[in-house]
Amino acid sequence: MNLIDDMISIFDASEELYSERDVATGIRTKLIESNIPKSDTEQFYDLMAFEFAENCQDKDNGWGTYFGPFMTLDNGDGTFSESPSIQEITPECIIHWAQRAQQVKHPVLKSRYAHLVWDFSKRIIGNAAPIDYARITIDSSIELTSVVYEKYDAILFKVVVPKKLARALSIAISVKDEPRIKLAVEALISYENRVGQDEYPATWGFSFDHLLGNKKAGLSAEQKEKIIQDLEARLDRISNSEAVGNEKRWCIEPAAIRLAQYYQREKSPDDAKRVILKLGDAFSQLAENSAPLIASSHYEELRSLYQQYGLSDEAKQLEVKLAELGPKVVSEFKRVPFRYEIKQEVIEAYTAEILEGGLETSLARIAIQFIPNKQQAENSLKDIANQCPLSYTIRNQMYDHDGRLVANIDSIDNDLDGRLIGHISQTLQFEMPFLHFALTGLIEKYSLAKDDIVSLVLESPIFTADKQGIIDAGVDAYLNDNHLVAAHLLIPQIEAAIRNLLRMANGSIYRPNKNGGFDYRTLGDLLPDGLFKKIITDIFGDDANLYFRILFNDKRGWNIRNDICHGILGSDAIQKPITDRIMHVLILLSRIRPVEEINK
Protein backbone atom coordinates (compact mmCIF):
# COMPACT_ATOMS: atom_id res chain seq x y z
CA MET A 1 0.00 0.00 0.00
CA ASN A 2 1.46 3.42 -0.98
CA LEU A 3 1.17 6.71 0.88
CA ILE A 4 -1.87 7.84 -1.08
CA ASP A 5 -3.63 4.55 -0.35
CA ASP A 6 -3.23 5.40 3.34
CA MET A 7 -4.61 8.89 2.77
CA ILE A 8 -7.62 7.58 0.83
CA SER A 9 -8.27 5.02 3.58
CA ILE A 10 -8.32 7.77 6.23
CA PHE A 11 -10.86 9.81 4.25
CA ASP A 12 -12.90 6.70 3.53
CA ALA A 13 -13.20 5.84 7.21
CA SER A 14 -14.05 9.39 8.29
CA GLU A 15 -17.48 9.99 9.80
CA GLU A 16 -17.27 13.69 9.07
CA LEU A 17 -18.36 15.27 5.82
CA TYR A 18 -15.61 16.75 3.69
CA SER A 19 -15.32 18.15 0.20
CA GLU A 20 -13.40 16.97 -2.85
CA ARG A 21 -11.18 20.01 -2.37
CA ASP A 22 -10.26 18.74 1.12
CA VAL A 23 -9.21 15.41 -0.37
CA ALA A 24 -7.12 17.14 -3.05
CA THR A 25 -5.42 19.32 -0.42
CA GLY A 26 -4.65 16.30 1.77
CA ILE A 27 -3.18 14.29 -1.11
CA ARG A 28 -1.15 17.23 -2.43
CA THR A 29 0.29 17.94 1.01
CA LYS A 30 1.29 14.29 1.44
CA LEU A 31 2.95 14.17 -2.00
CA ILE A 32 4.95 17.34 -1.27
CA GLU A 33 5.98 16.21 2.21
CA SER A 34 7.12 12.84 0.87
CA ASN A 35 8.93 14.30 -2.16
CA ILE A 36 7.08 11.92 -4.45
CA PRO A 37 7.92 12.80 -8.09
CA LYS A 38 5.19 13.32 -10.68
CA SER A 39 6.69 10.40 -12.62
CA ASP A 40 5.00 8.21 -10.02
CA THR A 41 1.84 8.63 -12.06
CA GLU A 42 -0.43 6.26 -10.16
CA GLN A 43 -0.27 8.35 -7.01
CA PHE A 44 -0.98 11.50 -9.03
CA TYR A 45 -4.10 9.88 -10.53
CA ASP A 46 -5.78 10.32 -7.15
CA LEU A 47 -4.72 13.96 -6.83
CA MET A 48 -6.08 14.74 -10.30
CA ALA A 49 -9.37 12.99 -9.50
CA PHE A 50 -10.25 15.53 -6.82
CA GLU A 51 -8.93 18.64 -8.56
CA PHE A 52 -11.40 18.68 -11.47
CA ALA A 53 -14.15 21.33 -11.46
CA GLU A 54 -17.73 20.16 -11.92
CA ASN A 55 -20.49 21.36 -14.24
CA CYS A 56 -18.18 22.39 -17.08
CA GLN A 57 -20.06 20.82 -19.98
CA ASP A 58 -21.14 24.19 -21.32
CA LYS A 59 -17.78 25.89 -20.92
CA ASP A 60 -15.61 26.67 -23.90
CA ASN A 61 -12.72 24.33 -23.05
CA GLY A 62 -13.30 21.91 -25.90
CA TRP A 63 -13.59 18.87 -23.64
CA GLY A 64 -17.31 18.31 -24.01
CA THR A 65 -17.40 16.68 -20.57
CA TYR A 66 -19.11 17.39 -17.25
CA PHE A 67 -15.75 17.76 -15.52
CA GLY A 68 -13.25 20.38 -16.57
CA PRO A 69 -10.06 22.10 -15.44
CA PHE A 70 -10.06 23.76 -12.04
CA MET A 71 -7.82 26.51 -13.41
CA THR A 72 -7.04 27.88 -16.88
CA LEU A 73 -4.18 30.32 -17.48
CA ASP A 74 -3.63 32.47 -20.57
CA ASN A 75 -0.05 31.97 -21.76
CA GLY A 76 -0.14 35.29 -23.62
CA ASP A 77 0.60 33.70 -26.99
CA GLY A 78 -2.87 32.52 -27.91
CA THR A 79 -2.52 29.25 -26.00
CA PHE A 80 -3.80 28.24 -22.57
CA SER A 81 -2.52 26.03 -19.76
CA GLU A 82 -5.07 23.92 -17.89
CA SER A 83 -4.88 22.25 -14.53
CA PRO A 84 -5.72 19.44 -14.44
CA SER A 85 -5.43 18.85 -18.17
CA ILE A 86 -7.41 16.26 -20.07
CA GLN A 87 -4.11 15.38 -21.74
CA GLU A 88 -2.98 13.84 -18.44
CA ILE A 89 -5.86 11.34 -18.38
CA THR A 90 -4.80 7.97 -19.78
CA PRO A 91 -6.60 4.62 -20.11
CA GLU A 92 -4.57 3.47 -17.08
CA CYS A 93 -5.93 6.45 -15.14
CA ILE A 94 -9.52 5.46 -16.00
CA ILE A 95 -8.81 1.88 -14.84
CA HIS A 96 -7.34 3.21 -11.57
CA TRP A 97 -10.41 5.36 -10.90
CA ALA A 98 -12.70 2.45 -11.72
CA GLN A 99 -10.91 0.27 -9.16
CA ARG A 100 -11.15 3.01 -6.54
CA ALA A 101 -14.89 3.40 -7.19
CA GLN A 102 -15.37 -0.28 -6.36
CA GLN A 103 -13.13 -0.19 -3.28
CA VAL A 104 -14.16 2.95 -1.35
CA LYS A 105 -17.36 3.37 0.64
CA HIS A 106 -17.63 7.05 1.59
CA PRO A 107 -20.14 8.77 -0.76
CA VAL A 108 -17.84 11.74 -1.48
CA LEU A 109 -15.06 9.44 -2.69
CA LYS A 110 -17.29 6.88 -4.34
CA SER A 111 -19.37 9.38 -6.29
CA ARG A 112 -16.28 11.25 -7.56
CA TYR A 113 -14.38 8.18 -8.75
CA ALA A 114 -17.41 6.58 -10.40
CA HIS A 115 -18.49 9.88 -11.95
CA LEU A 116 -15.06 10.43 -13.51
CA VAL A 117 -15.13 6.97 -15.06
CA TRP A 118 -18.63 7.57 -16.43
CA ASP A 119 -17.73 11.02 -17.76
CA PHE A 120 -14.31 10.42 -19.33
CA SER A 121 -14.33 6.79 -20.54
CA LYS A 122 -15.73 7.42 -23.99
CA ARG A 123 -13.41 10.40 -24.55
CA ILE A 124 -10.24 8.64 -23.34
CA ILE A 125 -10.82 4.95 -24.12
CA GLY A 126 -13.28 5.27 -26.97
CA ASN A 127 -15.98 3.21 -25.29
CA ALA A 128 -18.69 4.16 -22.82
CA ALA A 129 -18.14 2.99 -19.25
CA PRO A 130 -20.20 0.09 -17.93
CA ILE A 131 -23.59 1.32 -16.70
CA ASP A 132 -22.65 0.25 -13.16
CA TYR A 133 -20.60 3.45 -12.86
CA ALA A 134 -23.64 5.58 -13.68
CA ARG A 135 -25.59 3.70 -11.01
CA ILE A 136 -22.79 4.11 -8.44
CA THR A 137 -22.65 7.85 -9.19
CA ILE A 138 -26.40 8.22 -8.69
CA ASP A 139 -26.60 6.09 -5.56
CA SER A 140 -23.62 7.65 -3.80
CA SER A 141 -24.84 11.17 -4.64
CA ILE A 142 -28.19 10.37 -3.03
CA GLU A 143 -26.39 8.82 -0.06
CA LEU A 144 -24.70 12.18 0.56
CA THR A 145 -28.02 13.55 1.78
CA SER A 146 -28.01 11.16 4.74
CA VAL A 147 -24.62 12.24 6.11
CA VAL A 148 -24.65 14.31 9.32
CA TYR A 149 -23.16 17.79 8.85
CA GLU A 150 -22.82 19.19 12.35
CA LYS A 151 -19.02 19.03 12.28
CA TYR A 152 -18.66 20.82 8.96
CA ASP A 153 -19.74 24.03 7.23
CA ALA A 154 -23.41 23.16 6.89
CA ILE A 155 -24.36 26.06 4.60
CA LEU A 156 -21.66 25.09 2.09
CA PHE A 157 -23.01 21.58 1.76
CA LYS A 158 -26.60 22.71 1.71
CA VAL A 159 -25.62 24.51 -1.48
CA VAL A 160 -23.29 21.87 -2.98
CA VAL A 161 -25.32 18.69 -2.44
CA PRO A 162 -28.38 19.83 -4.47
CA LYS A 163 -26.12 20.29 -7.49
CA LYS A 164 -24.91 16.72 -7.09
CA LEU A 165 -28.47 15.48 -6.77
CA ALA A 166 -29.44 17.37 -9.93
CA ARG A 167 -26.55 15.75 -11.75
CA ALA A 168 -27.61 12.33 -10.44
CA LEU A 169 -31.10 12.96 -11.81
CA SER A 170 -29.64 13.98 -15.17
CA ILE A 171 -27.60 10.78 -15.39
CA ALA A 172 -30.56 8.63 -14.34
CA ILE A 173 -32.66 10.24 -17.08
CA SER A 174 -29.90 9.76 -19.65
CA VAL A 175 -29.72 5.99 -18.95
CA LYS A 176 -33.52 5.69 -18.61
CA ASP A 177 -33.26 4.23 -15.11
CA GLU A 178 -36.82 4.83 -13.91
CA PRO A 179 -36.35 3.63 -10.29
CA ARG A 180 -33.32 5.89 -9.85
CA ILE A 181 -35.11 8.83 -11.50
CA LYS A 182 -37.79 8.44 -8.87
CA LEU A 183 -35.20 8.21 -6.06
CA ALA A 184 -33.35 11.32 -7.28
CA VAL A 185 -36.60 13.30 -7.48
CA GLU A 186 -37.60 12.24 -3.96
CA ALA A 187 -34.09 13.04 -2.68
CA LEU A 188 -34.21 16.59 -4.07
CA ILE A 189 -37.61 17.31 -2.54
CA SER A 190 -36.87 15.77 0.86
CA TYR A 191 -33.42 17.34 1.04
CA GLU A 192 -34.85 20.80 0.49
CA ASN A 193 -37.39 20.15 3.25
CA ARG A 194 -34.54 19.26 5.62
CA VAL A 195 -32.02 22.01 4.88
CA GLY A 196 -34.01 24.97 3.54
CA GLN A 197 -33.76 28.08 5.72
CA ASP A 198 -35.76 31.16 4.79
CA GLU A 199 -32.87 33.50 5.56
CA TYR A 200 -30.47 31.59 3.27
CA PRO A 201 -31.98 31.61 -0.26
CA ALA A 202 -29.23 29.37 -1.61
CA THR A 203 -30.56 26.52 0.56
CA TRP A 204 -33.98 26.34 -1.10
CA GLY A 205 -35.66 26.60 -4.48
CA PHE A 206 -33.57 23.88 -6.12
CA SER A 207 -36.49 21.43 -6.28
CA PHE A 208 -38.38 24.05 -8.27
CA ASP A 209 -35.37 24.74 -10.51
CA HIS A 210 -34.53 21.14 -11.36
CA LEU A 211 -37.92 19.43 -11.31
CA LEU A 212 -40.70 21.78 -12.42
CA GLY A 213 -40.66 22.02 -16.16
CA ASN A 214 -38.47 18.91 -16.46
CA LYS A 215 -40.93 16.53 -18.12
CA LYS A 216 -38.46 13.65 -17.99
CA ALA A 217 -38.37 13.83 -14.18
CA GLY A 218 -41.85 12.33 -14.09
CA LEU A 219 -43.19 14.44 -11.22
CA SER A 220 -46.50 13.32 -9.79
CA ALA A 221 -49.30 15.86 -9.40
CA GLU A 222 -48.82 15.69 -5.62
CA GLN A 223 -45.09 16.39 -5.87
CA LYS A 224 -45.67 19.33 -8.19
CA GLU A 225 -48.31 20.77 -5.87
CA LYS A 226 -46.04 20.33 -2.85
CA ILE A 227 -43.15 22.23 -4.48
CA ILE A 228 -45.42 25.17 -5.37
CA GLN A 229 -47.20 25.28 -2.01
CA ASP A 230 -43.91 25.04 -0.09
CA LEU A 231 -42.58 28.00 -2.07
CA GLU A 232 -45.80 29.97 -1.51
CA ALA A 233 -45.57 29.28 2.23
CA ARG A 234 -41.95 30.41 2.24
CA LEU A 235 -42.92 33.60 0.41
CA ASP A 236 -45.60 34.33 3.01
CA ARG A 237 -43.23 33.71 5.92
CA ILE A 238 -40.58 36.01 4.49
CA SER A 239 -43.15 38.69 3.58
CA ASN A 240 -44.47 38.70 7.15
CA SER A 241 -41.08 38.43 8.83
CA GLU A 242 -39.43 41.25 10.74
CA ALA A 243 -36.52 41.31 8.31
CA VAL A 244 -35.99 44.70 6.67
CA GLY A 245 -33.97 46.24 3.85
CA ASN A 246 -31.67 44.15 1.73
CA GLU A 247 -32.02 41.20 4.08
CA LYS A 248 -35.70 40.92 3.23
CA ARG A 249 -35.34 41.80 -0.45
CA TRP A 250 -32.67 39.13 -1.15
CA CYS A 251 -34.84 36.49 0.55
CA ILE A 252 -38.20 37.38 -0.94
CA GLU A 253 -37.03 37.98 -4.51
CA PRO A 254 -35.97 34.40 -5.46
CA ALA A 255 -39.27 33.01 -4.14
CA ALA A 256 -41.45 35.61 -5.86
CA ILE A 257 -39.64 35.47 -9.21
CA ARG A 258 -39.78 31.66 -9.35
CA LEU A 259 -43.50 31.65 -8.59
CA ALA A 260 -44.25 34.49 -11.01
CA GLN A 261 -42.45 32.70 -13.82
CA TYR A 262 -44.33 29.49 -13.01
CA TYR A 263 -47.74 31.18 -12.94
CA GLN A 264 -46.97 33.00 -16.17
CA ARG A 265 -46.16 29.68 -17.87
CA GLU A 266 -49.33 28.17 -16.43
CA LYS A 267 -51.46 31.05 -17.80
CA SER A 268 -52.35 32.34 -14.32
CA PRO A 269 -51.56 36.07 -14.66
CA ASP A 270 -53.46 37.08 -11.51
CA ASP A 271 -51.29 34.80 -9.37
CA ALA A 272 -48.16 36.10 -11.09
CA LYS A 273 -49.21 39.69 -10.30
CA ARG A 274 -50.02 38.76 -6.70
CA VAL A 275 -46.53 37.42 -5.94
CA ILE A 276 -44.81 40.29 -7.79
CA LEU A 277 -46.77 42.81 -5.71
CA LYS A 278 -45.46 41.11 -2.56
CA LEU A 279 -41.97 41.55 -3.92
CA GLY A 280 -42.87 45.17 -4.74
CA ASP A 281 -43.67 45.85 -1.07
CA ALA A 282 -40.16 44.71 -0.10
CA PHE A 283 -38.57 46.79 -2.87
CA SER A 284 -40.53 49.89 -1.90
CA GLN A 285 -39.65 49.51 1.76
CA LEU A 286 -36.00 49.20 0.82
CA ALA A 287 -36.11 52.19 -1.57
CA GLU A 288 -37.79 54.47 0.96
CA ASN A 289 -34.91 53.93 3.36
CA SER A 290 -32.13 54.32 0.78
CA ALA A 291 -30.17 57.24 -0.61
CA PRO A 292 -31.71 58.72 -3.80
CA LEU A 293 -29.33 57.02 -6.25
CA ILE A 294 -29.85 53.60 -4.65
CA ALA A 295 -33.60 54.19 -4.36
CA SER A 296 -33.77 55.10 -8.04
CA SER A 297 -32.04 51.84 -8.93
CA HIS A 298 -34.50 49.83 -6.82
CA TYR A 299 -37.53 51.59 -8.29
CA GLU A 300 -36.29 51.11 -11.85
CA GLU A 301 -35.74 47.40 -11.28
CA LEU A 302 -39.20 47.08 -9.78
CA ARG A 303 -40.76 49.12 -12.60
CA SER A 304 -39.26 46.70 -15.10
CA LEU A 305 -40.76 43.75 -13.20
CA TYR A 306 -44.18 45.41 -13.02
CA GLN A 307 -44.07 46.03 -16.76
CA GLN A 308 -43.02 42.45 -17.44
CA TYR A 309 -45.95 41.02 -15.49
CA GLY A 310 -48.67 43.33 -16.77
CA LEU A 311 -48.84 45.72 -13.81
CA SER A 312 -48.94 48.79 -16.05
CA ASP A 313 -50.61 51.18 -13.59
CA GLU A 314 -48.11 50.32 -10.87
CA ALA A 315 -45.26 50.78 -13.35
CA LYS A 316 -46.51 54.27 -14.27
CA GLN A 317 -46.70 55.23 -10.59
CA LEU A 318 -43.07 54.26 -10.22
CA GLU A 319 -42.15 56.34 -13.27
CA VAL A 320 -43.59 59.36 -11.45
CA LYS A 321 -41.49 58.50 -8.40
CA LEU A 322 -38.39 58.16 -10.58
CA ALA A 323 -38.98 61.60 -12.10
CA GLU A 324 -39.40 63.09 -8.60
CA LEU A 325 -36.17 61.45 -7.47
CA GLY A 326 -34.18 62.71 -10.47
CA PRO A 327 -32.95 66.05 -9.03
CA LYS A 328 -31.97 64.33 -5.77
CA VAL A 329 -30.03 61.72 -7.74
CA VAL A 330 -28.13 64.45 -9.60
CA SER A 331 -27.30 66.17 -6.32
CA GLU A 332 -25.38 63.04 -5.25
CA PHE A 333 -23.08 63.12 -8.27
CA LYS A 334 -19.62 64.52 -7.73
CA ARG A 335 -17.79 66.26 -10.54
CA VAL A 336 -14.22 64.98 -10.84
CA PRO A 337 -12.09 67.56 -12.71
CA PHE A 338 -9.30 66.31 -14.93
CA ARG A 339 -6.65 68.72 -16.16
CA TYR A 340 -3.80 68.14 -18.53
CA GLU A 341 -1.45 70.57 -20.25
CA ILE A 342 -0.59 70.50 -23.95
CA LYS A 343 2.51 72.52 -24.72
CA GLN A 344 2.38 75.09 -27.49
CA GLU A 345 5.17 73.40 -29.46
CA VAL A 346 3.16 70.13 -29.42
CA ILE A 347 0.10 71.94 -30.76
CA GLU A 348 2.13 73.62 -33.52
CA ALA A 349 3.83 70.38 -34.55
CA TYR A 350 0.52 68.52 -34.57
CA THR A 351 -1.34 71.10 -36.68
CA ALA A 352 1.60 71.41 -39.10
CA GLU A 353 1.56 67.65 -39.68
CA ILE A 354 -2.19 67.25 -40.10
CA LEU A 355 -2.49 70.28 -42.40
CA GLU A 356 0.44 69.40 -44.64
CA GLY A 357 -0.13 68.91 -48.38
CA GLY A 358 -2.80 71.40 -49.41
CA LEU A 359 -6.48 71.95 -48.64
CA GLU A 360 -7.91 68.79 -50.20
CA THR A 361 -5.30 66.58 -48.54
CA SER A 362 -5.84 68.31 -45.19
CA LEU A 363 -9.61 67.87 -45.42
CA ALA A 364 -9.24 64.17 -46.24
CA ARG A 365 -6.73 63.65 -43.43
CA ILE A 366 -8.95 65.35 -40.81
CA ALA A 367 -11.99 63.46 -42.07
CA ILE A 368 -10.37 60.04 -41.65
CA GLN A 369 -8.09 60.62 -38.65
CA PHE A 370 -10.91 61.55 -36.26
CA ILE A 371 -13.03 58.47 -36.99
CA PRO A 372 -12.39 56.25 -33.94
CA ASN A 373 -10.77 52.90 -34.76
CA LYS A 374 -13.02 50.17 -33.37
CA GLN A 375 -10.36 47.47 -33.17
CA GLN A 376 -7.85 49.73 -31.43
CA ALA A 377 -10.55 50.85 -29.00
CA GLU A 378 -11.54 47.25 -28.25
CA ASN A 379 -7.91 46.26 -27.61
CA SER A 380 -7.46 49.28 -25.34
CA LEU A 381 -10.69 48.50 -23.48
CA LYS A 382 -9.65 44.89 -22.85
CA ASP A 383 -6.20 45.98 -21.64
CA ILE A 384 -7.79 48.37 -19.13
CA ALA A 385 -10.28 45.69 -18.06
CA ASN A 386 -7.42 43.27 -17.38
CA GLN A 387 -5.71 45.88 -15.21
CA CYS A 388 -8.90 46.92 -13.38
CA PRO A 389 -11.16 43.86 -13.60
CA LEU A 390 -13.62 44.83 -10.85
CA SER A 391 -14.81 47.96 -12.66
CA TYR A 392 -15.65 45.91 -15.73
CA THR A 393 -17.49 43.05 -14.04
CA ILE A 394 -20.23 45.13 -12.42
CA ARG A 395 -23.12 46.84 -14.19
CA ASN A 396 -22.84 50.55 -15.00
CA GLN A 397 -25.86 52.84 -14.95
CA MET A 398 -25.90 56.02 -17.02
CA TYR A 399 -27.91 59.02 -15.84
CA ASP A 400 -28.56 62.31 -17.59
CA HIS A 401 -28.46 65.82 -16.12
CA ASP A 402 -32.03 65.42 -14.83
CA GLY A 403 -31.21 62.23 -12.93
CA ARG A 404 -33.03 60.07 -15.50
CA LEU A 405 -31.66 56.57 -15.97
CA VAL A 406 -30.65 56.49 -19.63
CA ALA A 407 -29.04 53.07 -20.04
CA ASN A 408 -27.68 50.06 -18.22
CA ILE A 409 -24.34 48.70 -19.39
CA ASP A 410 -23.54 45.19 -18.22
CA SER A 411 -20.14 43.60 -17.59
CA ILE A 412 -17.59 43.47 -20.38
CA ASP A 413 -18.23 39.73 -20.82
CA ASN A 414 -21.99 40.18 -21.24
CA ASP A 415 -22.11 43.54 -22.99
CA LEU A 416 -18.91 44.18 -24.93
CA ASP A 417 -20.77 46.46 -27.37
CA GLY A 418 -22.08 48.68 -24.56
CA ARG A 419 -18.67 48.88 -22.87
CA LEU A 420 -17.00 49.64 -26.20
CA ILE A 421 -19.43 52.46 -26.97
CA GLY A 422 -18.77 53.95 -23.53
CA HIS A 423 -15.00 53.62 -24.02
CA ILE A 424 -15.06 55.25 -27.48
CA SER A 425 -17.27 58.05 -26.12
CA GLN A 426 -14.59 58.83 -23.54
CA THR A 427 -11.91 58.69 -26.22
CA LEU A 428 -13.83 61.26 -28.26
CA GLN A 429 -13.78 63.53 -25.22
CA PHE A 430 -10.01 63.13 -24.79
CA GLU A 431 -9.58 63.97 -28.48
CA MET A 432 -11.58 67.21 -28.21
CA PRO A 433 -8.61 69.61 -28.05
CA PHE A 434 -6.85 67.94 -30.98
CA LEU A 435 -9.94 68.13 -33.20
CA HIS A 436 -10.31 71.77 -32.17
CA PHE A 437 -6.67 72.51 -33.07
CA ALA A 438 -7.11 70.76 -36.42
CA LEU A 439 -10.29 72.64 -37.36
CA THR A 440 -9.01 76.01 -36.13
CA GLY A 441 -5.70 75.47 -37.93
CA LEU A 442 -7.52 74.45 -41.14
CA ILE A 443 -9.64 77.61 -41.13
CA GLU A 444 -6.66 79.88 -40.35
CA LYS A 445 -4.11 78.30 -42.71
CA TYR A 446 -6.39 78.24 -45.72
CA SER A 447 -8.28 81.46 -44.82
CA LEU A 448 -11.62 79.67 -44.97
CA ALA A 449 -14.60 81.99 -44.62
CA LYS A 450 -18.21 80.90 -44.26
CA ASP A 451 -18.83 80.86 -48.02
CA ASP A 452 -15.71 78.74 -48.61
CA ILE A 453 -16.83 76.11 -46.10
CA VAL A 454 -20.38 76.02 -47.46
CA SER A 455 -19.04 75.64 -51.01
CA LEU A 456 -16.88 72.70 -49.89
CA VAL A 457 -19.90 71.03 -48.26
CA LEU A 458 -22.11 71.55 -51.31
CA GLU A 459 -19.53 69.90 -53.59
CA SER A 460 -21.02 66.63 -52.42
CA PRO A 461 -24.32 65.80 -54.16
CA ILE A 462 -25.81 64.48 -50.92
CA PHE A 463 -26.14 68.09 -49.74
CA THR A 464 -28.79 69.76 -51.91
CA ALA A 465 -28.95 73.38 -53.07
CA ASP A 466 -32.36 74.01 -51.51
CA LYS A 467 -30.74 73.54 -48.07
CA GLN A 468 -27.88 75.96 -48.75
CA GLY A 469 -29.42 78.76 -46.71
CA ILE A 470 -29.73 76.53 -43.63
CA ILE A 471 -26.17 75.20 -44.00
CA ASP A 472 -24.96 78.76 -44.55
CA ALA A 473 -26.59 79.96 -41.33
CA GLY A 474 -25.30 76.94 -39.38
CA VAL A 475 -21.70 77.39 -40.52
CA ASP A 476 -21.91 81.13 -39.80
CA ALA A 477 -23.12 80.37 -36.27
CA TYR A 478 -20.24 77.89 -35.78
CA LEU A 479 -17.61 80.43 -36.90
CA ASN A 480 -19.09 82.99 -34.52
CA ASP A 481 -19.18 80.57 -31.56
CA ASN A 482 -22.97 80.45 -31.52
CA HIS A 483 -22.94 76.73 -30.83
CA LEU A 484 -26.58 76.52 -29.81
CA VAL A 485 -27.74 77.73 -33.22
CA ALA A 486 -25.08 75.81 -35.16
CA ALA A 487 -26.04 72.46 -33.61
CA HIS A 488 -29.78 72.92 -34.11
CA LEU A 489 -29.34 73.93 -37.77
CA LEU A 490 -26.65 71.49 -38.90
CA ILE A 491 -27.69 68.20 -37.30
CA PRO A 492 -30.94 67.95 -39.35
CA GLN A 493 -28.92 68.68 -42.52
CA ILE A 494 -26.56 65.81 -41.72
CA GLU A 495 -29.59 63.54 -41.31
CA ALA A 496 -31.01 64.74 -44.62
CA ALA A 497 -27.66 64.16 -46.34
CA ILE A 498 -27.50 60.59 -45.05
CA ARG A 499 -31.04 60.01 -46.31
CA ASN A 500 -30.07 61.45 -49.71
CA LEU A 501 -27.08 59.14 -49.86
CA LEU A 502 -29.29 56.12 -49.34
CA ARG A 503 -31.80 57.40 -51.92
CA MET A 504 -29.04 57.85 -54.52
CA ALA A 505 -28.03 54.23 -53.95
CA ASN A 506 -31.63 53.12 -54.66
CA GLY A 507 -32.32 52.42 -51.00
CA SER A 508 -35.63 52.98 -49.25
CA ILE A 509 -35.98 56.31 -47.43
CA TYR A 510 -39.68 55.96 -46.49
CA ARG A 511 -41.57 54.10 -43.84
CA PRO A 512 -45.36 53.66 -43.75
CA ASN A 513 -47.30 55.82 -41.30
CA LYS A 514 -50.61 55.14 -39.56
CA ASN A 515 -52.49 57.48 -41.89
CA GLY A 516 -51.83 55.36 -44.96
CA GLY A 517 -48.99 57.55 -46.21
CA PHE A 518 -45.25 57.59 -45.71
CA ASP A 519 -42.83 59.30 -43.32
CA TYR A 520 -39.16 59.86 -44.00
CA ARG A 521 -36.90 57.40 -42.18
CA THR A 522 -34.99 59.13 -39.38
CA LEU A 523 -31.38 58.70 -38.37
CA GLY A 524 -32.07 55.91 -35.88
CA ASP A 525 -33.67 53.93 -38.71
CA LEU A 526 -31.13 54.89 -41.41
CA LEU A 527 -27.86 54.03 -39.66
CA PRO A 528 -28.66 50.31 -39.11
CA ASP A 529 -29.83 49.94 -42.73
CA GLY A 530 -27.74 47.21 -44.38
CA LEU A 531 -27.31 49.11 -47.65
CA PHE A 532 -26.29 52.31 -45.88
CA LYS A 533 -23.75 50.44 -43.75
CA LYS A 534 -22.26 48.88 -46.89
CA ILE A 535 -22.01 52.27 -48.62
CA ILE A 536 -20.34 53.95 -45.64
CA THR A 537 -17.97 51.01 -45.16
CA ASP A 538 -16.99 51.09 -48.84
CA ILE A 539 -16.27 54.82 -48.66
CA PHE A 540 -14.78 55.36 -45.20
CA GLY A 541 -14.06 51.89 -43.79
CA ASP A 542 -15.68 49.71 -41.13
CA ASP A 543 -15.56 52.24 -38.30
CA ALA A 544 -17.57 55.18 -39.70
CA ASN A 545 -21.04 53.77 -39.07
CA LEU A 546 -20.23 53.03 -35.43
CA TYR A 547 -18.88 56.58 -35.12
CA PHE A 548 -22.13 58.06 -36.45
CA ARG A 549 -24.16 55.88 -34.10
CA ILE A 550 -22.14 56.83 -31.01
CA LEU A 551 -22.14 60.50 -31.87
CA PHE A 552 -25.76 60.95 -32.93
CA ASN A 553 -28.22 58.38 -31.64
CA ASP A 554 -26.89 55.78 -29.20
CA LYS A 555 -27.98 56.49 -25.62
CA ARG A 556 -24.76 54.93 -24.38
CA GLY A 557 -22.73 57.40 -26.46
CA TRP A 558 -22.95 61.14 -27.09
CA ASN A 559 -26.47 60.81 -28.55
CA ILE A 560 -26.43 64.47 -29.64
CA ARG A 561 -29.05 64.13 -32.39
CA ASN A 562 -31.68 62.76 -30.04
CA ASP A 563 -30.77 64.89 -27.04
CA ILE A 564 -30.77 68.14 -29.05
CA CYS A 565 -33.69 67.50 -31.41
CA HIS A 566 -35.93 66.24 -28.57
CA GLY A 567 -35.12 69.21 -26.34
CA ILE A 568 -33.29 67.18 -23.68
CA LEU A 569 -29.97 69.05 -23.57
CA GLY A 570 -29.88 72.47 -21.94
CA SER A 571 -28.22 75.39 -23.67
CA ASP A 572 -25.17 75.24 -21.40
CA ALA A 573 -24.40 71.70 -22.58
CA ILE A 574 -24.23 72.60 -26.29
CA GLN A 575 -20.72 73.95 -26.61
CA LYS A 576 -17.66 73.85 -28.86
CA PRO A 577 -16.86 70.10 -28.41
CA ILE A 578 -20.28 69.20 -29.85
CA THR A 579 -20.16 71.60 -32.80
CA ASP A 580 -16.56 70.60 -33.59
CA ARG A 581 -17.80 67.02 -33.99
CA ILE A 582 -20.71 68.21 -36.13
CA MET A 583 -18.27 70.09 -38.37
CA HIS A 584 -16.09 67.00 -38.58
CA VAL A 585 -19.04 64.94 -39.84
CA LEU A 586 -19.88 67.69 -42.35
CA ILE A 587 -16.31 67.50 -43.65
CA LEU A 588 -16.50 63.72 -43.73
CA LEU A 589 -19.75 63.64 -45.73
CA SER A 590 -18.60 66.47 -48.01
CA ARG A 591 -15.87 64.15 -49.31
CA ILE A 592 -18.49 61.88 -50.94
CA ARG A 593 -18.53 62.21 -54.72
CA PRO A 594 -20.35 60.44 -57.56
CA VAL A 595 -18.41 57.51 -59.00
CA GLU A 596 -18.26 59.18 -62.41
CA GLU A 597 -16.57 62.26 -60.93
CA ILE A 598 -14.00 60.11 -59.09
CA ASN A 599 -13.24 58.19 -62.30
CA LYS A 600 -12.59 61.47 -64.14
CB of 555 closer than 8 Å to CB of 408: no
pLDDT digits (tens, 9 = 90+) for 316-354: 999 999 999 988 888 888 777 777 788 889 888 999 999
Average pLDDT of the chain, as a whole number: 90
pLDDT digits (tens, 9 = 90+) for 243-256: 766 778 889 999 99
What pLDDT is recorded for position 145? 83
What pLDDT is recorded for position 149? 45
Q: Choose among 366, 381, 486, 489: nearest CA to 427.
A: 381
pLDDT digits (tens, 9 = 90+) for 521-566: 999 999 999 999 999 999 998 899 999 999 999 999 999 999 999 9
pLDDT > 60? residue 152: no
CB of 280 closer than 8 Å to CB of 306: yes
CB of 12 closer than 8 Å to CB of 106: yes
- Cβ contacts of residue 312 below 8 Å, gap of 6+? 306
Mean pLDDT of 202-206: 92
SS (H, E, C) 196-214: CECCEHHHCCHHHHHHCCC
pLDDT digits (tens, 9 = 90+) for 464-507: 999 999 999 999 999 999 999 999 999 999 999 999 999 999 99
pLDDT digits (tens, 9 = 90+) for 111-126: 999 999 999 999 999 9
Distance CA 520, CA 476 (A): 28
Reported as type and span, the H/E element at residue 518 is: strand 518-520
Supply φ then ψ for residue 80, to 5 degrees: -130, 150
pLDDT digits (tens, 9 = 90+) for 169-187: 999 999 999 999 999 999 9
pLDDT digits (tens, 9 = 90+) for 376-396: 999 999 999 888 888 888 888
